[in-house]
Amino acid sequence: MDVIIALIGILVLFMLSIYKGIDIFFPLFSGFIIFMIISYKRGFKLRELSSMVLKGIGKSLVNIKILLLIGAITAVWRASGTVAYVVYYGIKLMNPNYFILYAFILCSIVSFLIGTSFGTVGTIGIILMVMVKGGGININIVAGAIIAGAYFGDRCSPMSSSANLVAAITETDLNINIKNMIRTSVIPFITCIIIYGVLSYQNPLQLGGSQIITEIVQTFNLNWIVILPALIILVLAAFRVDVKVSMLVSIISGAVVALLVQRETIADILRYIVIGYSMNEHSFLGDIIMGGGISSMMKIMLIVLVSFALSGIFEGTSLLKDVEAWIIKLGGKIGIFATTIVISIMTGSFGCSQVLAVMLTYQFVRNMYNSAGIDKYELAVDIENTAVVIAPLIPWNIAGAVPAAALNAESSYMVYSYYLYLLPLIILIVKRFKALRLHKTL
């Protein structure tokens, strides 16, 4: 009972922090302290708990590396002229009446190629957001479209860490899972195209093209070579190179381009990587294009460390096993897939990371699926259609907090990330319709 009360209390703290504009690190850290106390009262020694915390933090190192790379690449792409180049030709070639739709489709394609939502947001996402600044569109609408597209590939790309994780824990074949994910995403994806198309028409991008174009030409050398850092990401993705390696190569090439083509100094490039890109002279373009850097990721890295420390406590103490009996009862009342959605919301809220949400959801629902005689491939695709896409809808989960921070968006982005909640909702409706039709046939 103490665990359930603690979970409810922490959820309330998260909601209050969002309402009051308080950094989510504080309620997350409070939750960590609360569960440390509960674990201690249940007989776990401080040495044991410390070991669990360190084990959890150790698992966060991959995420920390990616965050460092995102911070660096967002600054280097600005300094090298890569962002300016794409913005320049985007303004010239893109139809501003369909900008939001372009953002969703483009991010869906890139995320499928590179298999990571963070990498997609940290590359093509920041370019799109630079174009939006001063363009007369609510940036949270565009951020929602970008994040929705980013998680399209994060869910079903062969290189996606979440897709590989689900295949591993459910002991299923990745290729079969991908086919099932693509099949179940057709209706939600087409629905999103229609919605974003209408939103684009209602919210055309006011490019203010002439001023931006003039300042870009005056500030940057737009030699085709400046697009190289972006091309490297796509080419290496096509050869299935690890995204961390491709991002590092892109950063190095971007630094070289900034040095040789844009005539930046080594000291300035290093400074940009740490504290973000800035221009010496205050200008309209400078205000739009400035940003990035490792410093922009510091708050998120703290959240990652605490969330994985908390996951270490959950894993080591098995505190959440008390909830399993309640889950089976809930499945009998509202249905198995609906229960999986509810559990995904809970694990995404309290786990604070997509990885932990996936693993906890699987642990909680697998017995329910086994007892119902449901095939493990359906379990796998159900987790992909719930835990993977619901986690970024929770503002304090790093799956949503990291992209939002990279895009300088507010938590209201989730309202416009239609794909992330239409996917489980439409599948729920389809499953209910099939069950009803089968019942009538029998």
Residue 421: name the closest of 395, 397, 385 by CA. 385
Residue bearing tokens 């005689």: 373
Q: What is the pLDDT of residue 442?
A: 42
By 3-state DSSP, what share of the chain in percent is helix, strand and coil, each rounded to 5? Answer: 80, 0, 15
Which tokens is 162 given? 């979440």
Q: 8 or 421: whose pLDDT is higher?
A: 421
CA angle 127, 282, 288 (to 5 degrees): 20
DSSP for residue 413: G
Q: Say which amino acid occupies 309.
A: A
* Whether residue 141 has pLDDT greater than 90: yes
Backbone angles phi, psi at 135, to 5 degrees: -95, 5
In this predicted model, what pLDDT tens digit does every residue of 76-109 receive, in sequence order? Answer: 988 998 888 877 877 777 788 889 999 999 889 8
> In the chain, pLDDT over 70 holds for what percent of residues?
92
Asked if residues 62 and 190 have their Cβ atoms less than 8 Å apart, the reply is no
Q: What is the pLDDT of residue 125?
A: 86
Give the C-alpha separation, 66 to 134, whole Å.
29
- What mean pLDDT is predicted for residues 228-233? 86
Q: How confident is the model at residue 268 (pLDDT cuts 50, 70, 90)?
A: very high
* Whether residue 238 has pLDDT greater than 70: yes
Asked if residues 402 and 118 have their Cβ atoms less than 8 Å apart, the reply is yes
In this predicted model, what pLDDT tens digit does every residue of 152-171 receive, in sequence order? Answer: 988 888 667 778 778 878 88
The DSSP line for 164-203 is HHHHHHHT--HHHHHHHHHHHHHHHHHHHHHHHHHHHHHS
* Whether residue 119 has pLDDT greater than 70: yes
Report CA Rg, the chain: 22
Domain positions in the chain: 62-296
Give the C-alpha separation, 352 to 396, whole Å.
6
Q: What is the pLDDT of residue 382?
A: 94
Lowest-pLDDT range, 62-76, 183-197, 375-389? 62-76
Give the C-alpha separation, 117 to 310, whole Å.
23
* Whether residue 180 has pLDDT greater than 70: yes
- C-beta contacts of 212-217 below 8 A and 24+ residues apart: 212/87, 212/88, 212/91, 212/284, 212/285, 212/288, 213/88, 213/91, 213/92, 215/283, 215/284, 215/285, 216/84, 216/87, 216/88, 216/285, 217/88
Residue bearing tokens 């080419």: 235
Q: What is the pLDDT of residue 208?
A: 56
- What mean pLDDT is predicted for residues 242-247? 80
- What mean pLDDT is predicted for residues 409-418? 89
DSSP for residue 393: G
Q: How confident is the model at residue 113 (pLDDT cuts 50, 70, 90)?
A: low
Q: What is the pLDDT of residue 390?
A: 94
Lowest-pLDDT range, 27-31, 137-141, 189-193, 259-263? 27-31
* Whether residue 441 has pLDDT greater than 50: no
State the average pLDDT for the chain: 84
Asked if residues 310 and 88 have their Cβ atoms less than 8 Å apart, the reply is no
Q: Say which amino acid occupies 196.
A: Y
Q: Is 204 exposed, middle or buried (0-12, 13-18, 19+ CB in 10 A)?
A: middle
- What mean pLDDT is predicted for residues 416-439? 88
Q: How confident is the model at residue 287 (pLDDT cuts 50, 70, 90)?
A: low
Residue 413: name the closest of 221, 222, 132, 155 by CA. 132
3-state secondary structure 218-260: HHCCCCHHHHHHHHHHHHHHHCCCCHHHHHHHHHHHHHHHHHH
Q: Say which amino acid occupies 313.
A: I
- What mean pLDDT is predicted for residues 196-206? 89
Q: What is the pLDDT of residue 335?
A: 87
Q: What is the pLDDT of residue 211?
A: 67
Q: How confident is the model at residue 284 (pLDDT cuts 50, 70, 90)?
A: low
Which tokens is 152 given? 């399209």
Which tokens is 424 given? 């489980």
In this predicted model, what pLDDT tens digit does every residue of 23-67 receive, in sequence order? Answer: 777 888 888 899 899 888 888 899 999 999 998 888 778 778 877
Q: What is the pLDDT of residue 354?
A: 83
**Dihedral angle computed from the Cα positions of residues 362, 150, 432 and 397, in that order, rounded to the nearest 10 degrees:** 50
